[in-house]
Chain A
């Protein structure tokens, strides 16, 4: 469990969490980036950029 930096709600995390992964806050819908996993630290995920993709 970690705290959403946008709304303060608890964010449920799965076991195989990876730094660099994006998780959603089920309360406010914010996209959050996992910036550390020990302990878990979340930050706002970057906005979609035009050159993203495959």
Chain B
């Protein structure tokens, strides 16, 4: 198959993917989106003949628009524009999870500092404010007091891009010092890891310690439901353990977000599963199934 990798930076994740694709003798086209002119009426030359585009754009804005163009041209792309649209925006992400009945942290949105303060006073301290678009734990704030909340909201209101004036306020989940990242293909877990840190942010990008995690049936069910909620595809589903039984063990999970442009190098380092191989297996099956559908039609 011919695979077009949409990118603007080749991270270790992309190198793993490229290596696996080339080892299987697939025709791989690296497509630097920074060099593309995206016309309304026809695809750029770089998209010609590809069986599937894989969106690995580092910048969310480029991911969103390039996948929109791919959809408009009728060029298969994973993940599609609809999935990217839901996953890239925390508000849409939370709404999708809620609508699907997937447990997710209590969240409210406000458009002014004063209304946002009303929310945090109701939630109680600490609580969390997040940018609606953002990654790697950046610009997330744990609000421990009213004065901290006032300061953060004022900074967002005065200094921020208009998106920062959408105040996404979330309950603080008392997780056991770690959260869980599951890489899944159409809801089927490939591998999972825990990300542990003394800091309240447990993103791998923030330097959290990582270790493989064995999913139980409940976690697997939630991963499937969360994946379906956003439209499926190659996804990173993030869960936190909640509750505590008499032995101090968590009693359930909450899903805080689903990522559409998932990084997997840290996961690949801690698991025996060959993550890029499983991803390419899934891509091959997807292309084959779409080709069969075209032939049948």
Chain A residues in the interface with B (C-beta under 8 A): 16, 18-22, 33-34, 46, 49-54
Selected from A18, A21, A51, the residue in CB contact (under 8 A) with B59 is A51
Q: Which residues of A contact B261 (CB under 8 A)?
A: 53-54
Q: Which residues of B contact A46 (CB under 8 A)?
A: 9
Interface size on B, residues (CB 8 A): 28
B10-A52 in contact (CB<8A): no
A20-B135 in contact (CB<8A): no
Q: Which residues of B contact A52 (CB under 8 A)?
A: 58-60, 135-136
Q: Please, how many angstroms separate the alpha-carbon atoms of A20 and B8 in the complex?
A: 7
Distance (Å) between the CB of A40 and the closest chain B CB? 14
B30-A54 in contact (CB<8A): no
B134-A53 in contact (CB<8A): yes
**Taking CB as reference atom, which chain A residue is nearest B5?**
A20
**Given A20-B8, A20-B9: A53 in contact with B136 (beta carbons within 8 A):** yes
A50-B236 in contact (CB<8A): no
A51-B134 in contact (CB<8A): yes
A53-B18 in contact (CB<8A): no
5 extra A-B contacts, CB within 8 A, seeds A34-B10, A54-B259: A20-B7, A20-B10, A21-B9, A50-B161, A54-B261
Q: Does B205 contact A (CB under 8 A)?
A: yes
**Taking CB as reference atom, which chain B residue is nearest A51?**
B60
B10-A50 in contact (CB<8A): no
Q: Which residues of A contact B30 (CB under 8 A)?
A: 18-20
B135-A54 in contact (CB<8A): yes
Q: Which 6 A-B pairs have the closest CB atoms?
A: A53-B135, A20-B10, A51-B60, A21-B10, A18-B10, A54-B259
> Which of A18, A20, A51, A54: most chain B Cβ within 10 A?
A54
Q: Does B26 contact A (CB under 8 A)?
A: no
Q: Does B262 contact A (CB under 8 A)?
A: yes
Which parts of B42-62 form the interface with A (CB within 8 Å)?
Answer: 58-61
Q: Which residues of A contact B135 (CB under 8 A)?
A: 51-54
Distance (Å) between the CB of B208 and the closest chain A CB? 14
Q: Please, how many angstroms separate the alpha-carbon atoms of A34 and B262 in the complex?
A: 23
Distance (Å) between the CB of A54 and the closest chain B CB? 5
Selected from B8, B10, B60, the residue in CB contact (under 8 A) with A53 is B60
Q: Does B152 contact A (CB under 8 A)?
A: no
Q: Please, how many angstroms separate the alpha-carbon atoms of A51 and B63 in the complex?
A: 10
**Taking CB as reference atom, which chain A residue is nearest B261?**
A54
Distance (Å) between the CB of B74 and the closest chain A CB? 26
Q: Please, how many angstroms separate the alpha-carbon atoms of A16 and B17 in the complex?
A: 13
